[in-house]
């Protein structure tokens, strides 16, 4: 009875383990949208960009607080010894205390506060563009990895179909040789082709595994996770009328913001040459200050006398600071800031041409990629028809084995060309959106994007 119990327990454990392993081996289904979301959520670079954006917002709030008055409180305790002689009297300050509050209100700072606020707004805009740029980089990397994996998997499937053709042909040639209707040379040719396709399949499967691990890394998954991609059907229609406008590109906006920053730096340098005016108001309460002396009580009798001082006093001050002579340092700072401004303008001009060229190249890739797909589709249809005709001729001994092998090879190459053209077109779409600054998580991940299609 005990042995049966343990046997039942062992069987249950084995079944449970097998079910657990089966669940662990189940492929994780992923669409391109879900891959994008996972990549964005786990990207350390994007998280750093988000933190920098939050810092820029805090900097703007800090800059805005410069317009407001500053309140400060202070408390001081003093122990002075020995006592101070004041014309026969002793001033005792042992344990003297003072406590007060001060209000400081800047009235005019030469434009520094206003310029600082403008700079903080520009800093927030720069951080937002840097965050958007980082997000686009993550999306480009994700899309490239996704479509590359699809391309490799489709090639693996194509090679498996090609292998089935070769296996069937090899069996057919072997039968013919055994029946004395074929030659050993033909059998060797068929066997060599089978070996070559097996080699290509192994290479493709190794590449597939590397692409899968790359996508796992980007999405934050374990490298051993099996993936089932759902967006495998690629629909491509003729692209619509597209432009190479870079005005929404984050790099272009960053350069424009940098020009504005250097322009504000000129104003900040000029502010050092202007007067500053501030208002200070305060109230201080003091106590435990004693004055000891001797007073005449009458008849020449001197009596000790002590008086303690404790009171409060307020004060209002207007402070004006005027720079007079700084050996030309402030003027040189202004000239230096103007040169920075000119350099920023030149940088904007130079990089704008480069970004326009990149956007035009990405646009050309879209149209060229579509033409390549059309050419590849025609080539595949021709290769399929050629394979069908050659196979029929071979079956009735009207074509050589080499002709059939060439037809199969041409079909394989044509199929491979179409796979590459379709997946590369999807990568071109992403790169084009990146080049014009319109790539974001809400942009359509498949070819139904109206930006690319004409009905």
Is residue 17's pLDDT more than 50?
A: no
Of 141-155, 196-210, 230-244, the one with minimum mean pLDDT is: 230-244
Give me 250's structure tokens: 């984050």
pLDDT at 451: 52
Is residue 84's pLDDT more than 90?
A: no
Q: How far apart are CA 272 and CA 112, in angstroms?
A: 8
What residues contact 35, with CB distance under 8 A and at least 6 apart? 142, 145, 146, 215, 218, 219
Give me 22's structure tokens: 């089966």
Please state the rounded mean pLDDT for residues 14-31.
59
If one counts every other C-beta atom within 10 angstroms of the C-beta of residue 366, the result is: 18
Alpha-carbon 410 to chain mean position: 43
pLDDT at 447: 42
Residue 321 β-bridge partners: 276
Please state the rounded mean pLDDT for residues 391-396.
87
* DSSP helix, strand, coil percent of the chain (3-state; round to 5): 65, 15, 20
Domain containing 342: what range? 30-68+109-274+323-435
SS3 455: coil
Specify the number of domains making up the chain: 1
Please state the rounded mean pLDDT for residues 317-331.
90
Residues in the chain: 455
On whether the CB atoms of residues 410 and 400 are closer than 8 A, the answer is no
If one counts every other C-beta atom within 10 angstroms of the C-beta of residue 359, the result is: 23
250 falls within a domain: yes
Please state the rounded mean pLDDT for residues 17-22.
44
Q: How far apart are CA 109 and CA 275, in angstroms?
A: 7
Q: What is the DSSP letter of 89?
A: E
To the nearest whole number, what is the mean pLDDT of the chain? Answer: 87
User: 231-251: b or e for each residue (b if 16 or more CB lie within 10 Å)?
Assistant: beebebeebeeeebebeebbb
What residues contact 409, with CB distance under 8 A and at least 6 apart? none
pLDDT at 7: 52
Residue 133 pLDDT level (bands cut at 50, 70, 90) = very high
207 falls within a domain: yes
- Portion of the chain with pLDDT greater than 90, in percent: 60
Please state the rounded mean pLDDT for residues 316-334.
91
CATH number at residue 186: 1.20.1600.10
Beta-strand relationship, 227-229 and 84-86: unpaired
At which residue do the structure tokens 């039968």 appear? 175
Q: How far apart are CA 242 and CA 367, in angstroms?
A: 10
Please state the rounded mean pLDDT for residues 329-334.
92
pLDDT at 454: 36
204 falls within a domain: yes
User: 402-414: b or e for each residue (b if 16 or more CB lie within 10 Å)?
Assistant: eebbebbbbbbeb
Is residue 332's pLDDT more than 60?
A: yes
Dihedral of CA atoms 354, 356, 360, 365 in degrees, nearest 10, equals 50
Give CA angle at 124 (344, 441), nearest 5°.
100
Q: How far apart are CA 358 and CA 431, in angstroms?
A: 10
Please state the rounded mean pLDDT for residues 188-199.
87
Q: How far apart are CA 194 and CA 107, in angstroms?
A: 88
Please state the rounded mean pLDDT for residues 8-25.
44
What residues contact 235, with CB distance under 8 A and at least 6 apart? 446, 447, 448
Q: How far apart are CA 401 and CA 173, in angstroms?
A: 9
pLDDT at 35: 94
Of 86-95, 156-165, 245-254, 417-426, the one with minimum mean pLDDT is: 86-95
Residue 231 pLDDT level (bands cut at 50, 70, 90) = confident
Please state the rounded mean pLDDT for residues 400-409.
88
295 falls within a domain: no
pLDDT at 269: 92
Please state the rounded mean pLDDT for residues 297-325.
84
At which residue do the structure tokens 């379709």 appear? 422
345 falls within a domain: yes
Residue 25 pLDDT level (bands cut at 50, 70, 90) = low
Residue 331 pLDDT level (bands cut at 50, 70, 90) = very high
Task: Give the model confidence (pLDDT) of 349-383 as tens digits.
Answer: 999 999 999 999 999 999 999 999 999 999 999 99
23 falls within a domain: no
Q: How far apart are CA 429 and CA 218, in angstroms?
A: 20
Q: 18-22, 59-63, 288-292: which has the highest mean pLDDT? A: 59-63
247 falls within a domain: yes
Please state the rounded mean pLDDT for residues 70-80.
92
At which residue do the structure tokens 């998997």 appear? 153
Is residue 130's pLDDT more than 90?
A: yes
On whether the CB atoms of residues 220 and 38 are closer than 8 A, the answer is yes
Is residue 344's pLDDT more than 90?
A: yes
Task: Give the model confidence (pLDDT) of 165-187 as tens digits.
Answer: 888 888 888 887 887 777 788 88
281 falls within a domain: no
pLDDT at 14: 45
Which of 151, 150, 132 lies closest to 140, judged by CA?
A: 132
Q: How far apart are CA 310 and CA 289, in angstroms?
A: 7
């Amino acid at each position: 009875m005990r042995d049966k119990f343990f046997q039942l327990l062992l069987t249950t454990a084995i079944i449970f383990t097998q079910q657990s392993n089966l669940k662990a081996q189940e492929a994780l289904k992923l669409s391109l949208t879900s891959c994008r979301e996972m990549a964005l959520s786990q990207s350390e670079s994007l998280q750093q960009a988000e933190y920098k954006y939050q810092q820029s917002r805090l900097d703007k709030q800090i800059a805005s607080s410069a317009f407001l008055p500053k309140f400060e409180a202070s408390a001081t305790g003093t122990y002075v010894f020995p006592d101070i002689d004041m014309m026969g009297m002793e001033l005792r300050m042992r344990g003297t205390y003072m406590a007060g509050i001060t209000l400081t209100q800047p009235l005019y700072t030469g434009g520094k506060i206003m310029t600082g606020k403008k700079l903080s707004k520009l800093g927030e805009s720069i951080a937002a563009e840097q965050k958007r740029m980082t997000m686009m980089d993550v999306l480009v990397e994700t899309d490239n990895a996704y479509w590359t994996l699809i391309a490799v998997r489709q090639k693996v499937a194509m090679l498996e179909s090609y292998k089935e053709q070769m296996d069937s042909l090899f069996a057919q040639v072997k039968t013919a040789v055994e029946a004395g209707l074929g030659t050993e040379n033909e059998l060797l040719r068929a066997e060599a082709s089978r070996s070559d396709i097996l080699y290509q399949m192994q290479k493709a499967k190794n590449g597939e595994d590397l692409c899968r691990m790359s996508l796992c890394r980007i999405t934050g998954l374990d490298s051993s996770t099996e993936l089932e991609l759902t967006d495998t059907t690629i629909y491509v229609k003729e692209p619509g009328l597209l432009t190479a406008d870079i005005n929404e590109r984050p790099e272009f906006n960053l350069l424009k913001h940098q020009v504005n920053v250097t322009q504000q730096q000129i104003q900040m340098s000029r502010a050092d040459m202007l007067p500053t005016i501030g208002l200070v108001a305060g109230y201080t309460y003091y106590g435990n200050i004693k004055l000891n002396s001797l007073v005449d009580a009458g008849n020449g009798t001197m009596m000790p006398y002590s008086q303690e001082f404790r009171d409060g006093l307020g004060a209002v001050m207007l402070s004006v600071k005027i720079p007079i002579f700084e050996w030309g340092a402030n003027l040189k700072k202004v000239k230096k800031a103007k040169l920075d401004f000119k350099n920023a303008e030149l940088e904007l001009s130079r990089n704008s041409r480069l970004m326009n060229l990149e956007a035009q190249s990405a646009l050309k890739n879209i149209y060229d990629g579509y033409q390549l797909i059309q050419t590849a589709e025609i080539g595949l249809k021709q290769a399929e028809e050629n394979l069908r005709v050659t196979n029929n001729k071979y079956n009735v001994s009207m074509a050589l084995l080499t002709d059939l092998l060439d037809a199969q090879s041409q079909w394989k190459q044509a199929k491979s060309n179409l796979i590459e053209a379709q997946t590369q077109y999807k990568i071109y779409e992403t790169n084009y959106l990146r080049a014009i600054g319109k790539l974001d998580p809400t942009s359509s991940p498949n070819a139904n994007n109206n930006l690319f299609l004409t009905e």
